[in-house]
Amino acid sequence: MPKGKVRTPISDIILESFLGRIRILIAEDSSLFITVLSELIESEPDMELVGLATNGAKAVELCEQLKPDLILMDIHMPVMDGLTATGRIMATCPTPILVVTADPHRGGVDLSFKALSAGALDLVSKPGEVPMREAERFGFLRKMRLLAGIPVVRHVRDRLPDSSASKATNAAKIEDNRPARKTPAPTKPKESPPILGIVASTGGPRALGEFLGALPADFGAPILLVQHITRGFAVHLTRWLDANSQVNVVLAKNGQRIRPGTVYVAPTELQMELSSTGALKVYDGPAVAGYRPSGDVLLRSLARHAAPRAIGLVLSGMGQDGAFGMAALYRSGAVTLVQDEASSVVYSMPSAALERGVVSEIVELPHMATRVQEIVGTFFENTQSKSHHARK
């Protein structure tokens, strides 16, 4: 399709297909962003634009008809929004979906992150400048190529999977606008709680939603989280996870003291560590292996200052971040876990740790919360047992 062919107004159209390229469907109602995304795709010899839909209903129809390799999905569209369309597509014609949104938290309801729980693979911001900055363009294309090759599975519902024990609580706290209803579990006297460090990337938000949503409010350990996510989305990820879990989820701050029952999310473009004093160190440090925040930085700090009472967990993600940190934890006697391959959107990060032989257990995502609670409980049991024998 020649550049400049898309103009206002635009109707839903099907474009000519060429073999051997990544076949992309755009679902977007803004003529400006249709032009920007179309020209981005057309500039790449390994990509082709096979269809345009200006509402979610048309996107579902074209997905079934065209069987694209990737869908670029807007959220706020007429007739049917992107969240509903994502749920329909994942139930009828499962396809990799990249959510492209201008405002991930508009209207007080974070539809973009709900779309991830419905089966979308990842999200990015709409281009902030036209033409796109080179770094933004490169990152956008890289993510598109990655997601287009990921096998996806059918989803029969488009909401966050909740454990039966937490459904009533989650519904209640959304209805009452979430007043101060979460009380972190107090640290037991004379005991240092274990600390859980999590690293995640592509597919991580959905896995985190399920895992954290199954934890009780009195979970006995602080959780330090590095999630690779597009710049500007960490705050919205934090709000979404907090609204869908009984534990507290907050954006980490430098010097913050950590408490059980609270998840501390590393801010975008900053590194996060556990300091020797037990407080968080959040700072503008250099990227490590291309990542800022870096899972390796976080987990290595846990190995230095919290082992062996630390737990490392690597969830779904592309690349190798976290593998060296897991090795440091494993050598220090800490417990190291990775998500199972079947439930991971991308298995590169868990696989990288496994290949180094530094993983204590592979855990299926539906059982992750239960297993982590068992491990945390064992720390306290061992501490109490040692204290009892010491008194004798």
Distance CA 82, CA 60 (A): 10
More confident residue, 135 or 25: 25
Per-residue pLDDT at 383: 61
pLDDT at residue 120 is higher than 50: yes
Buried b (16+ CB within 10 A) or exposed e, 21-51: bbbbbbbbbbeebbbbbbbbbbeeeebbbbb
Q: Dmax of the chain from CA atoms?
A: 84
pLDDT digit string, tens, across residues 203-256: 999 999 999 999 999 999 999 999 999 887 898 899 999 999 999 999 999 999
**Catalytic pick among 242, 245, 321, 351:** 321
Tokens, residue 261: 């029952």
Per-residue confidence at 376, pLDDT binned at 50, 70, 90?
Answer: very high
Give yes or no for a contact between 310 and 329, defined as CB atoms under 8 angstroms apart. yes
* CA 13 remoteness from chain centre: 33
- List 101's β-bridge partners, or say none: 125
Distance CA 182, CA 364 (A): 27
pLDDT at residue 184 is higher than 60: no
Per-residue pLDDT at 113: 84
Task: Give all domains of the chain, ordered by start, each with its CATH number.
Answer: 13-148 (3.40.50.2300), 188-391 (3.40.50.180)
One-letter amino acid for residue 57 of the chain: A
228 noted as active-site residue = yes
| Helices and strands: H and E segment counts in the chain | 12, 15
Give yes or no for a contact between 242 and 205, defined as CB atoms under 8 angstroms apart. no
385 noted as active-site residue = no
In terms of average pLDDT, the best of 31-35, 56-60, 128-132 is 56-60
Per-residue pLDDT at 385: 54
**Catalytic pick among 228, 236, 301, 316:** 228
Give yes or no for a contact between 47 and 98, defined as CB atoms under 8 angstroms apart. no
How many Cα atoms occupy the beta-carbon half-sphere of 180 within 13 Å? Answer: 2
Distance CA 244, CA 355 (A): 33
Per-residue pLDDT at 388: 44
Per-residue pLDDT at 265: 98
* Full-model pTM: 0.81
How many Cα atoms occupy the beta-carbon half-sphere of 81 within 13 Å? Answer: 13
Give yes or no for a contact between 312 and 299, defined as CB atoms under 8 angstroms apart. yes
Per-residue pLDDT at 167: 35
**Catalytic pick among 201, 245, 301, 343:** 201
Per-residue pLDDT at 145: 92
- List 274's β-bridge partners, or say none: 280
More confident residue, 167 or 190: 190
pLDDT at residue 313 is higher than 70: yes
Interval 186-202 mean pLDDT:
77
Tokens, residue 390: 């010491």
Per-residue confidence at 380, pLDDT binned at 50, 70, 90?
Answer: confident
Per-residue pLDDT at 386: 53
More confident residue, 381 or 21: 21
- List 179's β-bridge partners, or say none: none
Average model confidence (pLDDT) across the chain: 84
pLDDT digit string, tens, across residues 3-53: 444 433 344 444 444 457 899 999 999 999 999 999 999 999 999 999 999
38 noted as active-site residue = no
More confident residue, 312 or 182: 312
Per-residue pLDDT at 9: 37
Per-residue confidence at 104, pLDDT binned at 50, 70, 90?
Answer: low
Per-residue pLDDT at 130: 76
Describe the strand order of the beta sheet including 13-14 as a list of residue ranges.
13-14, 47-53, 22-27, 70-73, 97-101, 122-125
- Rounded to 5 degrees, φ, ψ at 14 are -110, 130
